[in-house]
Amino acid sequence: MTSTALCEQFGIDFPLFAFSHCRDVVAAVTNAGGFGVLGATAYTPEQLDQELAWIDDAVGGKPYGVDLIVPAKFEGKGEKLSSSDLAARIPQAYRDLVDDLLRAHDIEPEPNRRLGGSSLSGNTGRELLDVALTHPVKLIANALGVPPDYMIEAGKERGIPVAALVGAKEHAVKQAAAGVDLIVAQGTEAGGHCGEVSTLVVVPEVLEALAGIGSSTPVLAAGGIVTGRQMAGMVAMGAAGAWTGSVWLTTEEAETAPHTVAKMLAATSRDTVRSAGRTGKPSRQLVSDWTNAWVPAKDGHQPLGLPLQSMLCEPVIRRIDVLASQGHEGAQALATYFVGQGVGLMNKVKPAREVVREFIEDYLAAAERLSNSLPG
């Protein structure tokens, strides 16, 4: 599918898809001619309904989507475990490790430990999808495996495309066979959960693999893309557009904590690491004392799997962020956030609309350079 055809299918002016947990960013990108996608996994069904109602009012009928994480593999799959059952599977040694890490940074552990929810097990996926479908969403996206049958079926029944994120060509083939409508080929440069293959390699690999099975499923390129010229390079290779995330974290509309924004603006592309120490699955984030503590070692602690690691760590990380925003030096050393290697090109806070405009201008300039690259 060409970029023009993709724009026509989704009713947008420019094939730039923007993933964000912030409704303001989603609305701003959609209103600027792109396609905003709300990361919805962490919400309760009631919260998601409120967020989507706000977006509905803000975009006035323009298209947007939702992203749900329903992983194919997680601790306790098929066992119908409650959150309490899952919590009981977190070893005391891991709880002690977190407490020791906090004390080493002059933070006293809470006497009554709080654990996070088990949303990364996908146990709220169906409920969140049901809520999303009461709103005029134009895309449903899923990560960490083939979307569940109920998601694909709901999309086909309602004519809503279902997208899936992949980090390897083999995964793309599985997704196409399952019936997804859009594949996001995401390289290891990406923020958040990602694979090991670079964007420059995984995009053409996915395109060739899909062509090899006769699939015309359109592909978006993702991973480290924070400029229009990078996007143009991906489209030149055959992608229909770009899926972006990190670049929106330093926009004026984003809810990113100020100390985290400062870290990002100062960071280079080498200041991120692919670590399982936050969710249990490898995800790229800012290097910090927290990520350093979870580097796998022969005699050390391997991170727990989904959703146990996030249940253990997310409440602690949220507390760290609060303390860091208050100037606590130990907390600032521990603070981290999901962001890709493109952070080295993110050097200024801007409105999301301006980021979209710069993407378009940069893209057009790159396309002109490409058209003038051959003699005659």
CA–CA gap between residue 361 and residue 228 (Å, rounded): 7
Instruction: Count CA within 13 A, CB hemisphere, residue 12.
Output: 28
Q: How far is CA 333 from CA 110, 295, 316, in A?
A: 19, 16, 14
- Model confidence at 120, pLDDT cuts 50, 70, 90, reads very low
| Segment 30-49 mean pLDDT | 95
Q: Where are the chain's structural domains?
A: 1-74+122-252+346-376, 75-118+256-344
pLDDT tens track for 190-227: 999 999 999 999 999 999 999 999 999 999 999 999 99
CA–CA gap between residue 38 and residue 55 (Å, rounded): 9
User: Which residue bears the tokens 């601790």?
Assistant: 75
Q: How far is CA 200 from CA 292, 307, 337, in A?
A: 28, 31, 24
pLDDT tens track for 90-102: 999 999 999 999 9
Residue 327 burial (C-beta neighbours within 10 Å; 0-12, 13-18, 19+): exposed
- Model confidence at 298, pLDDT cuts 50, 70, 90, reads low
**Nearest of 193, 253, 252, 180 to residue 223 by alpha carbon:** 193
Question: Whole-model pTM?
Answer: 0.92
User: Which listed CATH number (3.40.50.2300, 3.20.20.70, 3.40.50.300, 3.40.30.10) goes with 1-74+122-252+346-376?
Assistant: 3.20.20.70
Residue 263 in this model has a pLDDT that exceeds 60: yes
| Segment 327-354 mean pLDDT | 96
The token pair that represents 164 in the structure block: 């899936």
CA–CA gap between residue 26 and residue 18 (Å, rounded): 7
Cis peptide before 303 (omega within 30 of 0): no
